[in-house]
Amino acid sequence: GAGVSQSPSNKVTEKGKDVELRCDPISGHTALYWYRQSLGQGLEFLIYFQGNSAPDKSGLPSDRFSAERTGGSVSTLTIQRTQQEDSAVYLCASSLDGIYEQYFGPGTRLTVT
């Protein structure tokens, strides 16, 4: 079956602009996660959803970051007033339920100029 998909694959934006990143999880997976990976760094947790609610959003770096999930499926991560330090690969993962293995999408590479 289809894996996790993300769009766009690459995004270049100017500092101060808003961006939206999209994630479409594996069909039937109830849990969805957002991570980011900066160049040469490990994966940093941002937020996760169980259904449409977000029990843990402790990793969001600032109030410029927000995310939503609708219909228990697609999720959007929004970054407002982007800064250069937001440049990273944003990865989405989904799992059948929160306790099971997480499968990653291909990521969105965000570059803020």
Q: Nearer Cβ to another protein, position 66 or 80?
A: 66
Tokens of 83: 């800064």
Q: Which is nearer to another protein, 82 or 108 (CB)?
A: 108
C-alpha span between 87 and 23 (Å, rounded): 18
* Beta pairing partners, 104: 93
**Residues 52-81, interacting with another protein (CB under 8 A):** 55-56, 58-59
- Residue (of 33, 30, 29, 31) closest to 45 by Cα position: 33
Q: Is 1 in the site for another protein (CB under 8 A)?
A: no
If phi > 0 it is left, if psi is from -120 to 50 it is alpha, else beta; for residue 76 that is beta
Residue 41 in contact with another protein, rule: CB under 8 A: yes
Check binding of 50 to another protein (CB under 8 A).
yes
Rounded to a whole number of angstroms, the minimum distance from the CB of residue 81 to another protein is: 26
The backbone torsions φ and ψ at residue 38, rounded to the nearest 5 degrees and listed phi first, read -85, 160
Q: What residues line the site for another protein (CB under 8 A)?
A: 31, 33, 35, 41-43, 45, 48, 50, 55-56, 58-59, 89, 91, 95, 98-99, 101-107
